[in-house]
Structure 1
Amino acid sequence: MGAVLFSVLLSISVARAQEADPARYAIVPYPQQLVPAAGDFVITSKTRLVLPSDKTFFSKEAAQLQALIRQGLGQALPVAAKAGNGTIVLKQDTQLAGEEDYTLAVTPQQVTIAAKTPTGMFRAVQTLRQLMPVAIEGVKNAKLAKMAIPAVKITDHPVYGWRGMHLDVSRHFFSVDYLKKFIDLLALYKMNKFHIHLTDDQGWRIEIKKYPLLTEQGAWREFNNQDSVCMEKAKTNPDMAIDQSHIIRKNGKTLYGGFYTQAQMKEVIAYAAARHIDMIPEIDMPGHMMAAIKAYPYLSCEGGSTWGPLFTTPICPCNEKTFEFAENVYSEIFALFPSEYVHLGADEVEKSSWAKSPLCEGVMKANNLKTVEELQSYFVKRMEKFFNSKGKKLIGWDEILEGGISETAILMYWRSWVPDAPVKAAKNGNKVIMTPGNPLYFDGIPDRNSISNVYHFDPVPKGLTADEAAHIIGAQANTWTEWIPSEKRADFMIFPRMTALAEVLWTHRQDYDNYLLRLHQQYKRLDQLKVHYRMPDLDGFTDDNVLVGKTVLKLQKPAPDISIRYTTDGTAPTMSSPELPEAFIVPGPGTIKLASFSPSGSSSDIYTLNYRKQSFFPPVNVEGLQSGLQVQYFGSSYKGVTKLPDTADSIVHVSNAIIPEGMGKGGKAFGAKLVGYIEVPETAIYSFFLTADDGANLYIEGDKVVDNDGWHAPVQKSGQVALQKGLHPFELKFVEGGGGYTLKLEYRVNGGKIQAVPDSWFKRK
């Protein structure tokens, strides 16, 4: 009977949680159980703080709560000995199960926060913070007379122990102040791991006292091709500008870069630890080591490092001096970072220099290694033994599976095109952290699907039993910064996507519509914190549009206080550009640029709408057609769809605009043409939305409807075509540069819902 009653009460609790006003309880990530209540607890200067009998146990967390209150009221609360009306009570509850578990009870009379550990108490304070007025954020004193907290009862804990964010500071360097801001935002959304990618070909960012040239030389570079791309984009987007504070003049050269001294990094690590966030260092090896090898050429088998077919020359795993270097470097890293986890990297290794090395031939023979993949495994396993001897646990990218993996290494899965990698690792008993490129590479250009893709991500891959799934310890998003040269651009790429991931990993219960309502409230907090987040998407148009008679552009604002501004002269919209009328009559062929702006000055993407005149295409009459499309396959690498040849290597058939399973297997480059007819059910202007990784173009009636060509991460482009009811020639050209592909075609008609194109519309000969 007790179990039945508990089940009923839990059902009531969940139902109430679903009914909670998302504006009143705008908490992200959402708690496991939230029961709303009437009234508010009002914090004033007369409110008192009550600490547990051991006043030192939650002393740091109490100080952090006091800091939040001081930001609101301008003063901290007096401490009282006993609980009562008008008190905020912190207490330890040893009956709670987990290190991060907490309960929060708010009534009009009292606030009670209970946790088992200081970590749990800190997570609770962050929840309370999100219930406080947004005016407290980003200021020393908001000069509030009172702060109302809505009454509520919360019981909360995380589902996953690894809730991480990664930041690459090698390709572009970020200041200590930005690292602290980043850590504060991780803490706000209950993330607990900060994976910092400290070294790569483009820069060595951490002081190593035994090898001073790593930063004297390796931390600086002349501008490279990635920097040039950023500079070009900065002409129309100031967020893409290179940070001038990281540019120096030395020996008559302009150099770009920077590094953290060990003292600076200790400060950042302590800052993270105070917010109960582990910092996970990554010194990437044996590949991605050009910055180190240029300073110490003996580290490679050939002496020096150059670019190979794909990646740079790695360090040599067949020379004892290499291991001496690696162990010395990591010894200094271990001394800096208290985290038990350390990331070795070990991805994207160009092994051709190993295959030609007499030294490696000898090492492989002595250790019965048959392939260079096994030689990489030899390097990783030897480094893991060193890690373990120092009390550290090794993490590697999923390439460490190749050639064999130890049972204790932790695998970080990123290669979406190798879906069985995390399954193999979990079945082998290895812990796995999920970071698949799609959707968790936040350097990929965001579009209207990005937040949804992250929110609906399931960390547990298919094919695992419940016991095996327990080896999936969590997930993280990775932000690689080849084309993220500024702190504003980093904010834009990471937020608000990170909030969606935070809810996936903490709550693991999907309620996307409710999340979006809470996210709209979070924007106000991010505004106060001066986070240059990506604004909500504008909708109601495509990239390329057709004019058939009078055309009216009508857009709905994402929020009432957002303004949509436009230009028609090709310049980028600013806050001073005219505001788009509710119903804007398109003047004729040409270009309209749109952007939305928040009151704080955050701006959206710049949307470029191209308009061209077009008459309705009449249908064609073709007999003897079958359902589906013909797929012409080309098994080579092509930079763009216009490079595809006329003669295919093979032909197969599909039911829709999809790539057949098995094409591009193993991450190989290829091209494809999907050819046939599309039969539309009514005369209308059809909007098509084409998502592709890498490139794809859509042609209907020989007219290029959507241009999404080129090698790039998954991104959506759109276009329109005016079609009479009936049958029309259809062609979709696609290229994949290698590393896993995405292809998705959707449509909308007459302003309706964006949806998949039905199979029944496609016909082929």
Structure 2
Amino acid sequence: MKTSFIAALKITLVLTFCCGFVFAQSNSYSIIPQPVKLTPAKGSFVWSAATKVTVVGEVTDFAPAVEELNAITKKLGPSKSTPNKVVLKLDLGISAKEGYRLSIQPTTIVITASSVQGAFWAISSLKQLMGTKLFQRPQVLRKTVTKSINVPCVVIEDQPRFAWRGIHLDVSRHFFDLAYLHKMIDRMAYYKFNKFHLHLTDDQGWRIEIKKYPELTAKGAWREMNGQDSSCIAQAKTNPDFAIPEKHFKVIDGKRMYGGFYTQQEMKELIRYALNKGIEIIPEIDMPGHMMAATNLMPWLTSHGKGGQAKDFSEPLCPCKETTFEFAENVFTEIAELFPSKYIHLGADEVEKSSWKNVPECEALMKKEGLKSVDELQSYFVRRMEKFFTSKGKKLIGWDEILDGGVSPTATMMFWRSWVPTAPKHAAEKGNDVIMTPGEFSYFDAQQDGSSLQKVYSFDPYNYNLTTEEKKYILGVQANIWTEYIPSERRLEYMVFPRMLAMAEVAWYKGGVNWSEFDQRVEKQYSVLDAMNINYRLPDLTGFTAQSVFVDKGLLHIDKPQAGLTMRYTTDGTFPTLSSKIFSGDLAITKPVQVKVAGFRPNGNRGDIFTINYEQQGYLKPAALTSPQKGLQFFYYPQFYKTVNAIDQKDLAKEAVTNAIEIPVAKLAGSFATRHQGYFYAAETGIYSFALRSDDGSVLKLGGKVLIDNDGLHAAKELSAQIALAKGYHPFELLFIEGGGGYTLKLQYKSPNGKLQDVDGSVLFH
């Protein structure tokens, strides 16, 4: 993130050619997502109270954009600045609907677009060029000497890669009020997202008023504390961001209940606000599963006349009763009238279809319709709902489970199950539009770590064995935020930012093409996020190992990941605060100790707390080997296990010798386990560091003892540890389990005087 001395003295143009577009950006600019073409120019435009906004021609559609620009001027107090102007022009010759041209010269800014959406994205780029000053409070800004904002001159020609650039928010599991949804919309517009997918109903709460069924919000919007709430409350003891906001509680019939909902009038106002920012709100009413908030009140909607939990998921609606469709059509009639979006999301994921087995009504319907399985019953429900949506002028979206049992070619599929990588191709082959939101890259409720931002940036929505023709069915991408364990606005922001910036670039330009350059632009965005008062996740502190050792004396070194960060630490077991000691240089370690350290931004926001445990060790003696052979013994077990300790030798299906930490199996089972066994060769006596990253569980043993315990079913997670080794061969064992959904297994090491590198054939023996 540091720039060279020469680069700091002069503007350096960087030209990148990708996908037929040309991009030119200098060190003076930091726009996310990256524009298709940016040409720097000399000078700057001084935006002040003397700046006038005009529209060329009678273009009433540009009214919201004019309002957005005038709002900037209103923030500034009277000044003696020279009058200048911002001109909005309609140009139907711009082929891309959301494309724009932004020309900033010292006396004039010209925004040219073929639609109001294009004008808004030009304004988003313009705002980013203004920087942090734009987000100062008006009373503070007016007290400054200049009472103006300098905008660097530039010419930008830009258009989006995808028409669908979405953010999904689950407001059912935990509720977020209208004031915060307005903030979400503002931040989406700033980074050029144009679709806001609201998950309005689920087992945990019904959040939108349905006038035909007032009890859905009178009762279904409220609940007592559940297991997810209890988990949040427990974590709030050490992290206040997990505290459940008191504003979402009220007493009903003497009970303290959690919840909330939006009236239709409130939602109309939010829809208008979003449209005036270039954003379309897509409603999701999840059916036939995830309906406990309704079925607990109306158990007659299910096959067995009861709500609650079934085998794996909640009891679904019964697709074999006409009363079910009467209910669904009544609900969606109001939804279709309320939301102007051409899309309605039906959900249709994680349905407990076993509840439809051995039900007389379902057996009769299957016989009548020629349906052979409960999967086809699911498709029957989806097809009937799609036909109803069509009658209302709407298009149906469903999660990728709508493929099970067959789907009509007019439905839009939202791909989320990373462990079914063939789903996008299967849908495109049938002519279905696809929105790419695989959990591996797009589920922002998964815990972030040091590699999360780059992981999202590397997302290639076309990398699913798609032909050129099939790629035409990919509408775009979306980030999903499920809120089971996200109870507060600060926790939501921590989980979303800065990953949202990487997804913005994937959606608009082309993620994964220049990580280091993107990382530098993100670095410049942090001060803007501070100014917006966003509780983003700070970059990881690095340079140390969580489980560290020393023989005689150690030295703790920590790399500062960004300018303006102050690192503070404790050694008494307490968490670092703004009053803790400042970590200003390397810390000498002479006895076993636990060090807790965290970074703090100037505004007081604290990053993650890192715990470093120091243990004093002697050098582990090597094993005596007479004729070591290259590589490790490999064992493969195609069974499902929850922990590595459960691996059973009777399940062994394959043995081999491998020269790396790899899985040499042509066709892997959906769930499996592996064992790599042999010796690690330490080329010199000293302290070795190991980093083990896995999804799901893994355990590394050295010298017959557990060094890293990363066990259990979990998303990709990295743990690290050190060990003091004498030169020679040391017993090595790596155990791994994959529960399903795609695996990650990576082991790296650093020798006493070396750099972190993959554990490979040069150090592995058996």
Q: TM-score range by the shorter chain?
A: over 0.9
> Would the alpha carbon gap of residues 129 and 210 (structure 1) be closer, same or farther in structure 2, given more than 3 Å must change?
same
**Could you tell me whether the CA contact under 8 Å between 2:224 and 2:256 is conserved in 1?**
yes
1:30 is aligned to 2:23: no
Residue 96 of structure 1 and its aligned partner are, at CA, apart by 0.7
Q: Which runs of 5+ in 2 are unaligned?
A: 1-12
Residue 737 of structure 1 and its aligned partner are, at CA, apart by 3.3
- Quote the Cα distance in structure 1 between the aligned partners of 2:668 and 2:176: 37
- Quote the Cα distance in structure 2 between the aligned partners of 1:409 and 1:760: 52
> Would the alpha carbon gap of residues 161 and 271 (structure 1) be closer, same or farther in structure 2, given more than 3 Å must change?
same
**Could you tell me whether the CA contact under 8 Å between 1:676 and 1:762 is conserved in 2?**
yes
> Would the alpha carbon gap of residues 383 and 664 (structure 1) be closer, same or farther in structure 2, given more than 3 Å must change?
farther
SS at match of 1:51: strand
Amino acid of the residue matched to residue 128 of structure 2? Q
- Quote the Cα distance in structure 2 between the aligned partners of 1:233 and 1:384: 42
Amino acid of the residue matched to residue 133 of structure 2? A
- Quote the Cα distance in structure 2 between the aligned partners of 1:19 and 1:507: 13
**Could you tell me whether the CA contact under 8 Å between 1:617 and 1:722 is conserved in 2?**
yes
* Equivalent of 2:56 in 37, 52, 55: 52
> Would the alpha carbon gap of residues 12 and 437 (structure 1) be closer, same or farther in structure 2, given more than 3 Å must change?
closer
Q: 1:531 aligns to what?
A: 534
Amino acid of the residue matched to residue 699 of structure 2? N
Structure 1 runs (4+) deviating above 6 angstroms are 10-13, 15-19, 75-78
Which moved further from structure 2: 618-627 or 739-748?
A: 618-627
- Quote the Cα distance in structure 2 between the aligned partners of 1:750 and 1:40: 52
Query: Could you report, residue by residue, the CA deviation over 1:717-763 in whole angstroms, capped at 9, with x for unpaired residues?
Result: 22222233432222222233333332222333458654432244333
**Could you tell me whether the CA contact under 8 Å between 2:696 and 2:714 is conserved in 1?**
yes
**Could you tell me whether the CA contact under 8 Å between 1:126 and 1:188 is conserved in 2?**
yes
Amino acid of the residue matched to residue 662 of structure 2? I
SS at match of 2:56: coil
* Equivalent of 1:223 in 217, 222, 225: 225
Q: 1:757 aligns to what?
A: 759
Q: 2:313 aligns to what?
A: 311
- Quote the Cα distance in structure 2 between the aligned partners of 1:34 and 1:435: 29
> Would the alpha carbon gap of residues 676 and 460 (structure 1) be closer, same or farther in structure 2, given more than 3 Å must change?
same
* Equivalent of 2:91 in 93, 98, 121: 93
Q: 1:437 aligns to what?
A: 439
1:322 is aligned to 2:324: yes
SS at match of 1:361: helix
Q: 1:192 aligns to what?
A: 194
* Equivalent of 1:21 in 23, 26, 32: 26
> Would the alpha carbon gap of residues 165 and 661 (structure 1) be closer, same or farther in structure 2, given more than 3 Å must change?
farther
SS at match of 1:132: helix
> Would the alpha carbon gap of residues 571 and 497 (structure 1) be closer, same or farther in structure 2, given more than 3 Å must change?
same
> Would the alpha carbon gap of residues 445 and 161 (structure 1) be closer, same or farther in structure 2, given more than 3 Å must change?
same
SS at match of 1:26: coil
Q: 2:170 aligns to what?
A: 168
**Could you tell me whether the CA contact under 8 Å between 1:69 and 1:75 is conserved in 2?**
no
Structure 1 length as normaliser, TM-score? 0.93
- Quote the Cα distance in structure 2 between the aligned partners of 1:682 and 1:379: 66
**Could you tell me whether the CA contact under 8 Å between 1:17 and 1:35 is conserved in 2?**
no
> Would the alpha carbon gap of residues 339 and 631 (structure 1) be closer, same or farther in structure 2, given more than 3 Å must change?
farther
Q: 2:519 aligns to what?
A: 516
Q: 1:81 aligns to what?
A: none
Q: 1:6 aligns to what?
A: none
Residue 716 of structure 1 and its aligned partner are, at CA, apart by 1.8
Residue 421 of structure 1 and its aligned partner are, at CA, apart by 0.8
**Could you tell me whether the CA contact under 8 Å between 1:632 and 1:648 is conserved in 2?**
no
1:596 is aligned to 2:594: no
Query: Could you report, residue by residue, the CA deviation over 1:528-561 in whole angstroms, capped at 9, with x for unpaired residues?
Result: 1111110111111122112222211122222231
* Equivalent of 1:607 in 605, 610, 620: 610
- Quote the Cα distance in structure 2 between the aligned partners of 1:751 and 1:277: 53
- Quote the Cα distance in structure 1 between the aligned partners of 2:69 and 2:93: 23
Q: 2:73 aligns to what?
A: 69
* Equivalent of 2:455 in 453, 456, 460: 453
**Could you tell me whether the CA contact under 8 Å between 1:204 and 1:291 is conserved in 2?**
yes
Residue 611 of structure 1 and its aligned partner are, at CA, apart by 1.7
Query: Could you report, residue by residue, the CA deviation over 1:198-227 in whole angstroms, capped at 9, with x for unpaired residues?
Result: 111111111111112212222111111111
Residue 182 of structure 1 and its aligned partner are, at CA, apart by 0.8
1:361 is aligned to 2:363: yes
Q: Counterparts of 1:460-479 in structure 2 under 5 Å? A: 460-479=462-481
Query: Could you report, residue by residue, the CA deviation over 1:143-165 in whole angstroms, capped at 9, with x for unpaired residues?
Result: 24221111111110001111111
* Equivalent of 1:108 in 106, 109, 118: 106
- Quote the Cα distance in structure 1 between the aligned partners of 2:411 and 2:609: 44
- Quote the Cα distance in structure 1 between the aligned partners of 2:246 and 2:74: 35
Q: 1:719 aligns to what?
A: 721
- Quote the Cα distance in structure 2 between the aligned partners of 1:692 and 1:91: 52
Q: Counterparts of 1:205-244 in structure 2 under 5 Å? A: 205-244=207-246
**Could you tell me whether the CA contact under 8 Å between 2:419 and 2:740 is conserved in 1?**
no
- Quote the Cα distance in structure 1 between the aligned partners of 2:684 and 2:286: 56
- Quote the Cα distance in structure 2 between the aligned partners of 1:702 and 1:693: 23
Structure 2 length as normaliser, TM-score? 0.93
- Quote the Cα distance in structure 2 between the aligned partners of 1:11 and 1:567: 43
Residue 673 of structure 1 and its aligned partner are, at CA, apart by 2.7
SS at match of 1:443: coil
**Could you tell me whether the CA contact under 8 Å between 1:540 and 1:751 is conserved in 2?**
no
Query: Could you report, residue by residue, the CA deviation over 1:637-676 in whole angstroms, capped at 9, with x for unpaired residues?
Result: 43322333454432333443234556763xx444333322
Q: 1:556 aligns to what?
A: 559
- Quote the Cα distance in structure 2 between the aligned partners of 1:554 and 1:262: 56
**Could you tell me whether the CA contact under 8 Å between 1:664 and 1:738 is conserved in 2?**
no
The aligned length equals 746
Residue 75 of structure 1 and its aligned partner are, at CA, apart by 6.3
Q: 1:566 aligns to what?
A: 569
Residue 176 of structure 1 and its aligned partner are, at CA, apart by 1.0
**Could you tell me whether the CA contact under 8 Å between 1:240 and 1:484 is conserved in 2?**
yes
Q: 2:583 aligns to what?
A: 580
- Quote the Cα distance in structure 2 between the aligned partners of 1:661 and 1:118: 53
1:656 is aligned to 2:660: yes
- Quote the Cα distance in structure 2 between the aligned partners of 1:31 and 1:61: 20
SS at match of 2:542: coil
Q: Which runs of 5+ in 1 are unaligned?
A: 1-9, 79-83
**Could you tell me whether the CA contact under 8 Å between 2:459 and 2:506 is conserved in 1?**
yes
SS at match of 2:161: coil
Q: CA RMSD in A?
A: 2.4
**Could you tell me whether the CA contact under 8 Å between 1:47 and 1:88 is conserved in 2?**
yes
Query: Could you report, residue by residue, the CA deviation over 1:662-707 in whole angstroms, capped at 9, with x for unpaired residues?
Result: 6763xx4443333222234443422222222222221121232222
SS at match of 1:270: helix
- Quote the Cα distance in structure 1 between the aligned partners of 2:567 and 2:282: 41
- Quote the Cα distance in structure 1 between the aligned partners of 2:219 and 2:636: 47
Residue 85 of structure 1 and its aligned partner are, at CA, apart by 8.2
Query: Could you report, residue by residue, the CA deviation over 1:222-269 in whole angstroms, capped at 9, with x for unpaired residues?
Result: 111111111111111000111111122222322111111112211211
Residue 17 of structure 1 and its aligned partner are, at CA, apart by 7.9
SS at match of 1:334: helix
Q: Counterparts of 1:121-160 in structure 2 under 5 Å? A: 121-137=119-135, 139-141=137-139, 142-143=141-142, 144=144, 145-160=147-162
